[in-house]
Amino acid sequence: MVDRSGRRDWRWLMVVIAAAVIALDRVSKRWIVKNVIPAHPIVVWPGVFRITHVLNTGAAFSMYEGASSQTLVRYVLIGFSAVAVVVILVLLWRMGRRLSVTAVALALILGGAIGNMYDRIRFGYVVDFLEVHIVHYHWPDFNVADSCIVVGACLLLLEMLRPQRDSR
């Protein structure tokens, strides 16, 4: 697509990136649900990486997992996700015309947020399945959507820390 000024409009690519994240997230979670029995992980790299099947009713890193009102947590997380999706869509609409690290990062975050929000709305939980141990540290289980959100956030952080060229 070309905008009014004759420059190429890259927003279509940002939609494709977000849609690819959503599709990969859905496919991977469906595979896990059908092929991995809860509490019977598949060891990929002993002591480092396992494929698991965990139903996360909490937030990122299983925060609020044991909250007394899981229904309240669920609706707050859905509401927060919906607001985040709207904000990111507005930012992408404005910034996605140019192909940039920021636009790609926002597309990754958008896809991840929609992927996890879909699970919360449809099932009341998010399927997590990637488990990582590094020495004595154990990351809480996560999924493709979480990974894309983190990669997008890291790209945004790197973009903010990168020295900016003078626009003059």
- Would you say the pTM of this structure is higher than 0.85? yes
- Tell me the pairing of strands 137-138 and 49-56: unpaired
Half-sphere exposure of 153 (CA within 13 A, CB side): 9
Q: Which amino acid is at 90?
A: V
Q: pLDDT (tens digit, 0 to 9) for every residue of the chain, 168 residues total? A: 655 666 789 999 999 999 999 999 999 999 999 999 999 999 999 999 999 999 998 776 556 566 667 788 889 999 999 999 999 999 999 988 999 999 999 999 999 999 999 999 999 999 999 999 998 999 899 999 999 999 999 999 999 998 877 665
Active-site positions read 128, 146
Alpha helices, DSSP H, located in the chain = 11-35, 70-95, 101-122, 144-161
Tokens of 41: 């992980």
DSSP single-letter state for residue 69: -
